[in-house]
Structure 1
Amino acid sequence: MSARDTSPIRREGGGAGGVSRPAPAAPANRQESPVLPPGLTDEEIVARWLTAKATGRGRLATTTLAQYRIEAERLFWYARQTDVPISAWTLDDFAGFIAFLQAPAPWAMRARAVRRGSPDWRPFLGPLTDRSAGQTQKIVTSLFEWLRDVGYLKINPAVGLPTVGRRAQGKQGRFVPPDLCALLCEAIDSRADDTRQEQLLKARDRFLVELFSRTGLRTTEAVKCRMQHIEIHRVSGALRREFPDAPEFQWLLHVESGKGGKERWVPCNEIALSLQAYRLAFGLPPVPAPDEALPLVLSARRTRFGQWKGVRHRQAIWDVITGLRDEAIAYARATGRDVDEKELKQFAGASTHWLRHSYAKGLAEALKHGLDARSALENMGHADQRTFNQYVDDEPLKRALATHLARERATR
C-alpha cells in the first residue's frame, strides 16, 4: 500500500474478528457528527482524517503522511487489544496507551522478518524512545482534536494530559564535512569509465553528491524535480548595483512542492558545471530546455521508447548515496588517505540527509559573512528559525578553542 493511501486502516488480529464496530449504545463521549455521514466506524472516520491531511495546499508530505498512518495503526491495534474503541476512550485509556508505547509487553512486539498480513504482525519492533513516544502523542492528540472539531467526539480524551511541546533541538552533528565531501567526489573520479554504463553512472553519481551537498534538497524533492525546474536568470542592473560582485547570470532550482507543499527557489550556481557534465554524458544539451520534462535524477537505463528513465523512489537515491559512502571509505583505506579514523567511523553512518545538513552548515557559516537569516531559512525550506539553529556552532571542539583563546587573551 502506498504512503499516500488513505483507505480505511488495516484490521489485522484483535478481538471481534479484528474489526471495530460502532458500539450498540453510543459511548458517552461519542455523538453524531453534523459534517460526516452517519453510521461510520472509527476506522472509516480516521481514514477521512488521513484523507483530509493529504488534501490541499498545506497537505502533509508523503513521508509524514506515512508516519501518520503508522500511528493510526498502532492506535487501533492497541484499541482492539483492550477491547475499547477509541470513540469510548477516557483520559485513563489515553494515558494507558502512551505508557504502553514506552513499555510494550513482549507479546506486542514482532520480529523484523514478519511482514504485513501475517497473523504475527504487530505495529511495534520494540519500546519507543521518549522522543518517538512524544511524537506519537502529538499526532494522536491532533487526531482526537480533529474528531472533536468535526463533532464526532464531545471532548478530546487527551485534554487532561500535559502537552508535548517542541524541545529545543540539539546541535546537528550528522553532516559530511568538506574534506569528506571532497573524498566522495575523488572516489567517483577515480573509477574506471571504459564502458558506456560506467561513464553514465560516474557523471550521474558525481552530480548527485554536488546536488545534495550544494543545494540542500530533500531526497523526495530531488525525485520530484524535472530538468525544466532549473532556470538561468540574467542579473539585472539594479541587482548588480546592490550586489557589485554578482555574476552575470544566476542559476535557480525551482522546488514546486517541498515539505508541507511549500514552494521555494534554491540558488544552484555551484552545481552548474557538474550538471552540464552530467547532461553531456547522457547525450543531452548542457543547459536544460524550459519545457524539458526529463527527471532531474536519471537512471542509466532507457524506456522502451528510447527516453532516459528517472530514479523514481527516494529509497533508490538513498541506496546510491550510501553506496557512494562505502565506496569512498574503501577508497580512502586502499589509497592510504590520511583521514581521522573517528571521523571515518562517523562517516560510515552518513546518508543522503547528511549532505543536506552539510549545506545547512555552510549556510550557517555564511550568516557570519552577510547572508540574512530569512534567506537561509528559505534556501532550506524551513519555516522556523529554531530548526535552523541546530546548524549554528555545532562543533564543541571549535567552541572550546574559541573560548579558551579568548579567555587567555583577556587575562594577558
Structure 2
Amino acid sequence: MDFDLTSEQSQLKDSVDRLIGATYGSLEARQNLAKEPLGFAEANWAQFAELGLLGIPFSEEEGGFGGGPVETMVVMEALGRGLALEPYLASVVLGGSAVRLGGTAAQKDEIIPGVVEGSLRLALAFTEKQSRYDLFDVAASARKADGGYVLEGAKSVVISGDSAQRLIVSARTSGSRRDRDGISLFLVPANAEGVKIHGYPTQDGGRAAEIALSGVKLGPETLLGTEGEGLAILERVADYAIAALAAESVGIMEALHGLTVDYLKTRQQFGAPIGQFQVLQHRAVDMLIALEQARSMACYAAMMVEHHDTAERAAALSAVKVQVNRSCRIVGQEAVQLHGGIGMTMEYLGAHYFKRLTMVESLFGDTPHHLRRVSSAGGLAA
C-alpha cells in the first residue's frame, strides 16, 4: 500500500507549512497572538481562507475544495507543529462536519460558503458538566413552542465557543438525561436572545467557553438533521475529531522530539554534550518510537474515519486514541525529563508543546474510556 502523499497533497503540505512557519516563528509571536481579543488574529484566519484550508473537508458541490481525511491530516499536523491558535478544529472539523453530515441543502447553502471564506465561524456545544465523555449524556432541553423550539440548559468547555458566530447545540427533545434517543442538534446564533457566553483561556493557550441557554427561541429551520437522532451525527463528528487530533498530536510530538534532540546536542555537562550519554540517547529513541507509532495510527485514522461499518470504524478510532494518548504521554514526559527544569518553564517553547499534548490526551475521551470501547467491541480483529 502506498502511503506517500500525492503531488497535490505535497503542495498543500508545503503551503500550510510555510504559512504556519511564518506566523508562529517563535514563542513570543504565539503569545502575542494569544493576546488578541479572539485569542488569534483574524488576519491569519483570512489567510487560511485564501489558501483554501477552510474549505478542505467540503465537496465542490457544497462550495469547498473536495479534500478528505488525508488533506485534513496534513493541515492538522502543520497546526500541531506550530501550536497554532486558530479555531480550525472547532469551526472546520467539528462544526463543519456536523453541518456537512446533518444539514439540509438550504442549511449547507447558508453556512458552508461562510465557513469556507472565513466570514462565519462555528463551535460545537455538546459537553455538559456531568457528561464527561458520554455524548448521549444531555440535560439541556428543547421544547416545542409556537412552531419552533425553546432551549434551556448549559454547555461547558465549548472549544473556541467565544469566537464563533454560530453554535451547534445538542439538546434533548425527548427522553431522560442519559437516553441515547431523543437528542437533537440546533443551529443557534451566538448573539441570540437568551444565550450568554463566558469565554476564558485554556491551559494550552487556546480558548473555550461556558454557555448558558435561557429561553432561547428558535425557528424550525434551525433543527440540524432529524429530530431526536442527533447522537448519530455527534458520534460521527467525534470520529473526525479523533482523527484530526491524532494528526495534530503527531505534529506536536515531531516538533517536541526535534527540540529535545537539539537540546541534548547543545547542553553541556561534565565537559561534554549530554547527548553523548547512552542512557539519554536511548530515551530519545523511545520518544521517536512513540512518535512513529502515533504517526502510523494517525494514518490509520485517516483511512478508517469514513469506513462504512459503524462498529468497525468506532473500534478503530478508539484504538487510535489509545495509542496516540500513550504516545503523547511518553513523548511529553520524556521531553520534560530530558530538558530538566527548563522543560516546565513557561518561557520555553517545549513546555507549551507539553501542555497541548496533555490537553489533547483528554479531548474526546481519555485512554481508559477508549480502552473500554475497544474491549467492548471485542478488539480490532475478529
TM-score by length of 1: 0.27
Which of the two has greater helix per residue? 2
Which of the two has greater strand per residue? 2
TM-score by length of 2: 0.28
